[in-house]
Structure 1
Amino acid sequence: MAKKSIGPVRREFSPWEHPDHPPFIEFRNVTKKFGDFVAVNNLSLEIYEREFFALLGGSGCGKTTLMRMLAGFETPTSGQIFLDGQDMAGIPPYRRPSNMMFQSYALFPHMSVEKNIAFGLKQDKLPASEIDARVAEMLRLTKLEQFAKRKPHQLSGGQRQRVALARSLAKRPKVLLLDEPLGALDRKLREETQFELMNLQTELKVTFLIVTHDQEEAMTVADRIAVMDKGELVQVATPAEIYEAPSSKFVADFIGDINLIEAKITEKSADGVRLQPVKGGFTIDSDQTSDADVGDTVWYAIRPEKVRIAQGRTEEGAVNQVGGVVWDIGYLGDVSIIHAKVGADHHDTLRATFANVSRMVENPITWDDEVVLSFGRDAGVILKG
């Protein structure tokens, strides 16, 4: 059995932990070139049935190209793509057991909601009774029954998004491909819709593959995430693994907010590693092991919420604490973000966040305060450059 995943996973659903479990979608040594530009570079990836999988990365990383090759809108330059055991080579998009929902929704403006949902079913010449039953099911699942007779222009952005989703699912594809599906929604509605997508995917037991550049969206909806950069996979793991145990400096920096401290390894033992930040001023003791040698330069990555902050001065000989001066503060309501100047001559910045659990704070930390920042031996990870 493979290593057990870090963080929460759906009960009794983690097929990637079992090497003998067959993948539902497989990219095998896939390369896609546009002229001299390599959009996807010799990429291999396995996705499992009923999984909600996210392709995450910045613009131009190859995530949309990868999805379009699965959908049949692009042809691989080399390599193979399998869906449910079948090689997709030469199979046109309309013959593939997948459906794609575009960011623009592409609804027919002259058709009502129910006719938009029924369109693909009529193209497939399904019996009228079955079309009516599927449309009714989709209207129920997407909570659109009362809007069935309306035209797209009479709907809100969130409602149009649900119509496009219902139309995509009405044909009962084996895989639903979602290309930045929530990009046009405002933040609050986007957050609500993310959970609606998750509930719908669980109820229908359909494999979902979502392309997004929104880290929070991928972390919320996906069972696993593939982080991509320059046409290659950088890390494939659960959201918690991506966040808590990034495989590289790139992933650590790309996902969420993080402190990246350049440091040299000064000691190694069975209990862990001691680091000296390059800019000096304090030492870091970590219970992590590292294959880097004493004297090597590495990066110590620690999330701001794992850094404790208090008013006062450092204690002599205490582990993983450093004095600093508050340089900047961000108050976000539920949490506050503190930027403190630390290290020798205050040449480095360390970020800490803390929850505002009380409405009233008598002595809040404020600008120019002297503070102590500290963290546990297990709080961060050691990464090579």
Structure 2
Amino acid sequence: MKSLGSIRRSFAPWADPAAKPYILFENVTKKFGDFVAVDDLSLSLFEREFFALLGASGCGKSTLLRMLAGFEEPTSGRILLDGQDLRGIPPYRRPVNMMFQSYALFPHMTVEQNIAFGLKQDGMPKPEIAERVGAMLKLVKLEPFAKRKPHQLSGGQRQRVALARSLAKRPKVLLLDEPLGALDKKLREETQFELMDLQQELGLTFVVVTHDQEEAMTMADRIAIMDKGKVKQVATPAEIYEAPNSRFVADFVGSVNLFEGQVSKASNGAMQIASGDLVLKARNGADADTGNTVWFAIRPEKIRVTPQKPEGGDANAMEGEIYDIAYLGDMTIYNVRLDDGRIIKASTMNSARVNENILSWHDRAWISFNSDAGVVLTA
């Protein structure tokens, strides 16, 4: 059985029609004056899911998270958690906890005092607090730093304190608002895997808001792409990347080349697309009739760049000139200007230290890709 991309784990309750959503947004709208932040949005999340809300600033993702936390109330619609309508329930009575981008640690308190704060507010007995704090310190590997204050910690350590404090009350759902935004790139990448492992170990439901595509693709079981208060697509990372449902999603996630054209022939899922002087052969065809305008979306890594014209009947091939080159160590990115002026981006992995057929600026080159390497879009 073929699948799109790698499978992170065999957890997929959304594929079961009988599965009951754990968190349900039903026709939720949120307005701030005349501005519509969330627009008639419906969304289902499942227990133990690591779910990501991904979108540009102002798309409504943080507002959605704040409504789930109880910091905002929907203008209309309702939000259910484990079957309970959350309307009117204050944040401190909801079985959720939120970890903010700023971490919001108390500077005058030690690490263990910060973690214990919410437990003390709830009136938990001191022996139980000590036991829970110890367990949290062990979980986030901060036992040697228990007596330190936030200013004595690195950014990654402060992030772990905030995470431990959020988990100490054992919420049913942990909400994370840009949780790794304050970390440097290398530490952010390490922490992504730690969060994934921690979420699966605890068996909690995580909902993360981020504008970082790589972060969402790495951590989440599913991703909701948002724009202007609406959800554009909800799917697994591989499905979002390999099978976007629109030009917006294809262009938003990763890098993509889009060929616009008209369907000149269509039969049994295969079609030909007339795009300027080019005729593209495409599979993964959408529902489109002859004469319809469509877009063929193909990722740069699916395109081959060669000095000679490739052989093979199934390949789309076109000639151009190397316009730009970016060497990134693990890969090289080529911008190839076709003879009709279009610039196509292709990327190749540098799997060998020495390349005998190296291409340089202004060289003539061929780009090619198979008919099933991309996806045909109608919107």
3-state SS of paired residue (2:370): coil
CA distance in 2, matches of 1:108, 1:316: 65
TM norm structure 2? 0.97
In structure 2, C-alpha distance between the alignment counterparts of 1:22 and 1:9, rounded to whole Å: 22
Partner deviation per Cα, 1:148-200 (whole Å, 9 max, x = no partner) = 11110011101100000000000000000000010011111100000000010
1:288 deviation in Å?
Answer: 2.4
In 2, Cα distance between equivalents of 1:9 and 1:307: 23
Checking the alignment, whether the CA contact within 8 Å between 1:273 and 1:290 is kept in structure 2 is: no
In structure 2, the residue corresponding to 1:177 is in which secondary structure? strand
Over aligned residue pairs, what C-alpha RMSD do you find?
A: 1.5
State the distance in 2 between where 1:197 and 1:317 align: 46
Shift of 1:314: 6.0
Residue 164 of structure 2 corresponds to 166
User: Of 309, 328, 342, which residue of structure 2 is paired with 1:348?
Assistant: 342
SS at match of 1:320: strand
> How much has 1:316 moved relative to structure 2?
9.8
Instruction: Select 1:181's aligned residue among 169, 179, 182.
Output: 179
The residue aligned with 1:134 is 132
Length, aligned pairs only: 378
Q: 1:111: Cα distance to partner?
A: 0.6
Alignment match, 2:363: 369
Partner of 2:254: 256
Matched, 1:384 2:378: yes
What's the CA shift for 1:298? 1.2
Distance in 2 between residues matched to 1:9 and 1:376, nearest whole Å: 24
What are the residue-to-residue correspondences of 1:6-85 with 2, within 5 Å?
A: 6-85=4-83
Letter in 2 for 1:379: A
The separation in 2 between residues aligned to 1:9 and 1:374, in whole angstroms, is 28
Q: Does 1:89 align with 2:87?
A: yes
Paired residue for 2:352? 358
Structure 1 unaligned regions, length at least 5: none
Alpha-carbon distance between aligned partners in 1 of 2:354 and 2:4, rounded to the nearest angstrom: 36
Decide which of 297, 304, 320 is 2:300's aligned counterpart. 304
Match of 1:336 among 328, 332, 344: 332
Distance 2:260 2:299 in 1: 15
Quote the offset at 1:335 in angstroms.
0.4
For the structure 1 residues 149 and 49, does the alpha-carbon distance in structure 2 shift closer, same or farther, using more than 3 Å as the test?
A: same
Contiguous gaps of at least 5 residues in structure 2 = none
The aligned residue for residue 288 of structure 2 is 292
Structure 1 residue 8: Cα displacement: 3.8
* Residues 261/171 of structure 1: CA separation in 2 closer, same or farther (3 Å cut): same
The aligned amino acid for 1:290 is A
TM-score (norm 1): 0.95
The alignment-based identity, stated in percent, is: 64
CA contact (8 A) 2:38 2:230 kept: yes
Q: Secondary structure at the match of 1:28?
A: strand
Q: What residue identity is the alignment partner of 2:20? A: P
